[in-house]
Amino acid sequence: MNVLPQPLRNAMTVFERGWLSSNNVLFASADGAAIVDTGYASHAPQTLALVQRQLGARKLDLIVNTHLHSDHCGGNALLQHTYACDTLIPASEAHAVRDWDEGALTFRATGQRCERFGFTGTIEHGAMLALGGFEWNVLGAPGHDPHSLMLHCAEMRVLISADALWENGFGVIFPELEGASGFAEERAVLELISQLDVDVVIPGHGAPFTDVARALDIARSRLDYLQADPARNAKNALKVLIVFKLMEVRAMTLDALVSMTENARSMRAAADVLAPSHERRALVERIVGELARGGAVKVSGEMVSAA
């Protein structure tokens, strides 16, 4: 069922993607053709095919990134190469992208990848974008990622929430893994959303939904649970990152997973919360065991594969 307001239906298409990619929101109107977020690098050809099928001979004019996690910007490079389109990224990430600073960007830190892309402009909290024939206010949404943004169309009462709010939660609170504040920021974003006029939320993952109050209640409860014990956020992050990698490469040895946990900064930070470094292998074995019992991965001897 299409939950979008009728005036938006002809100008706005939501591509609900499965992991590894984020959802993509494609606009086509007199304002031009624009896409919000572009999925993961390994799915870039799929993203391009979806855009081409929807736009036909029309050109894609603009990419807008809510934030620069690899599952939201991994299709940027291919779309830029195909269409020579403009690209807007969060202003606070401009220096890192311009220099392709892999220490500041999160791809290496999470054990993921992203083909290098450029940008032609930036957006930040308080900006306004014309998309689909309507005005969208850009709202800061730190918590999951300190640079993350949302887009709100007050006239249509629609929110593109990225990973700040899903129907049943939100994205990993990454800043908390490395000693920065994230829980308080996520709580403030949830409060901000509760104050907006919103009938439909288009999340970064999962189907668009209309019961915003219920989603906010679930998110607040989830945040309370995580904030009560930082180890819970760390374990969730480590599980998410391991499963993500396995879904990308399909299978890895246990030794390779241990090595990745040691070398990828965010994974190492999560592991450090859960166990001392000399117990790293035992920790990874325990996490993999829990994932296997939950049906997320399969284990055969030393090989671990996506379920």
- 221 and 188, same domain (yes or no): yes
111 neighbors 264 (Cβ within 8 angstroms) = yes
In this predicted structure, what is the pLDDT of residue 102? 87
Report if residue 290 sits inside a domain.
yes
pLDDT tens-digit series, residues 182-232: 999 999 999 999 999 999 999 999 999 999 999 999 999 999 999 999 999
Q: At what angle do helices 212-228 and 183-195 cross, to 10 degrees?
A: 160
Query: Tokens 């053709």 label which residue?
Result: 33
- 157 and 264, same domain (yes or no): no
CA distance 191 to 131: 25
In this predicted structure, what is the pLDDT of residue 113? 96
- 139 and 186, same domain (yes or no): yes
CA distance 104 to 74: 16
Mean local confidence (pLDDT), 25-34: 96
- 186 and 249, same domain (yes or no): no
* pLDDT score of 1 more than 80: no
Report if residue 119 sits inside a domain.
yes
Report if residue 1 sits inside a domain.
no
In this predicted structure, what is the pLDDT of residue 103? 86
Q: Of 228, 253, 269, which marks where a domain is finished? A: 228
In this predicted structure, what is the pLDDT of residue 122? 98
Listed residue (301, 219, 233) closest to 270, CA to CA = 233
Report if residue 71 sits inside a domain.
yes
In this predicted structure, what is the pLDDT of residue 56? 97
CATH classification at residue 166: 3.60.15.10
CA distance 131 to 62: 10
CATH classification at residue 277: 1.10.10
- 116 and 258, same domain (yes or no): no
128-131 and 134-140: which strand pairing?
Answer: antiparallel
pLDDT tens-digit series, residues 243-297: 999 999 999 999 999 999 999 999 999 999 999 999 999 999 999 999 999 999 9
Q: Of 228, 251, 281, which marks where a domain is finished? A: 228
Mean local confidence (pLDDT), 23-42: 97
Q: What range does the domain containing 143 cover?
A: 6-228
- 245 and 126, same domain (yes or no): no
45 phi/psi in degrees, rounded to 5: -60, -35
- 62 and 176, same domain (yes or no): yes
Report if residue 286 sits inside a domain.
yes
pLDDT tens-digit series, residues 73-121: 999 999 999 999 999 999 999 999 999 998 899 999 999 999 999 999 9
Count how many domains the chain has: 2
In this predicted structure, what is the pLDDT of residue 31? 87
Report if residue 234 sits inside a domain.
no
In this predicted structure, what is the pLDDT of residue 45? 98
* pLDDT score of 166 more than 80: yes
Q: Following DSSP, what letter does each residue of 113-144 receive, concatenated?
A: -------SEEE-TT-EEEETTEEEEEEE--SS
Q: Of 199, 228, 257, which marks where a domain is finished? A: 228
In this predicted structure, what is the pLDDT of residue 208? 98
- 63 and 168, same domain (yes or no): yes
The neighbour count for residue 65, using CB atoms within 10 Å, is 27
- 265 and 130, same domain (yes or no): no
Mean local confidence (pLDDT), 14-30: 97
In this predicted structure, what is the pLDDT of residue 129? 98
In this predicted structure, what is the pLDDT of residue 307? 94
- 179 and 244, same domain (yes or no): no
